[in-house]
Amino acid sequence: DAGVIQSPRHEVTEMGQEVTLRCKPISGHDYLFWYRQTMMRGLELLIYFNNNVPIDDSGMPEDRFSAKMPNASFSTLKIQPSEPRDSAVYFCASSFRDDRDQAYEQYFGPGTRLTVT
Amino acid sequence: EDQVTQSPEALRLQEGESSSLNCSYTVSGLRGLFWYRQDPGKGPEFLFTLYSAGEEKEKERLKATLTKKESFLHITAPKPEDSATYLCAVQARRGSARQLTFGSGTQLTVLP
């Protein structure tokens, strides 16, 4: 398996522009997570999906952020309009099917480094 | 609120000098504690899952242990290629919740 795939790897945009980050989870995983990592705040969960349904979006910083998962193999995180404080590395992760209330590890993609000028 | 505190923030070791990294946690019922390794410019790479106090897991030069309040990642005779940031995370046993709470990490540098 190729692992979690994210695109683009790097994105540089100007303040006010729309940014769309993309993620393809590992096949067969039914949980998908979006994280943001900064030096100041570390790794923070933004939102996660189970079977394509958003379960918890309490980490989404504000209405400028939105995420969708139209099918089991694709998710997007959109920022509109973008601001310089959104500059960070955004990670997507996926996790196994969870049949027995067990803790399953999350597998991370390589991340998208977003710079908003 | 779940909390994870890792110490030290940074650690420099000579090659072959064994040491331990600490992860203290507060969670309302632990479903699992995870250790990850993160190299610069890459995503976190899964290492171990620990489920209950007393559990231990090993992989090459790494050994992870768990108590009711903390976890240790022991590194035996480290090599320069072990240099990375090591992250600890907890998942609470709270209904159907599956989110992880991460610590800020320990940046390990192993000098040749």
Mean pLDDT by 10 residues, chain B (112 residues): 95 98 94 96 96 94 96 97 97 81 97 96
- Cβ-contact A78, A20 below 8 angstroms: yes
Digit-coded pLDDT (tens) for A28-86: 998 999 999 999 999 999 999 999 999 999 999 889 999 999 999 999 999 999 999 99
Asked whether the beta carbons of residue A106 and residue B100 sit closer than 8 angstroms, the reply is yes
Asked whether the beta carbons of residue A103 and residue B87 sit closer than 8 angstroms, the reply is no
Task: Give the whole-angstrom CA distance, residue B6 versus residue B21.
Answer: 8
Q: Please report the pLDDT score of residue A97 as a whole number.
A: 66
Task: Give the whole-angstrom CA distance, residue B66 versus residue B18.
Answer: 19
| Amino acid identity at A111 | G
| Residue in A42, A105, A111 nearest the CB of B46 | A105
Q: Please report the pLDDT score of residue A1 as a whole number.
A: 65
| Residue in A48, A91, A103 nearest the CB of B43 | A91
Q: Please report the pLDDT score of residue B77 as a whole number.
A: 97
Chain A to chain B, count of Cβ pairs less than 8 Å apart? 57
Q: Please report the pLDDT score of residue A51 as a whole number.
A: 92
Q: Please report the pLDDT score of residue A98 as a whole number.
A: 63
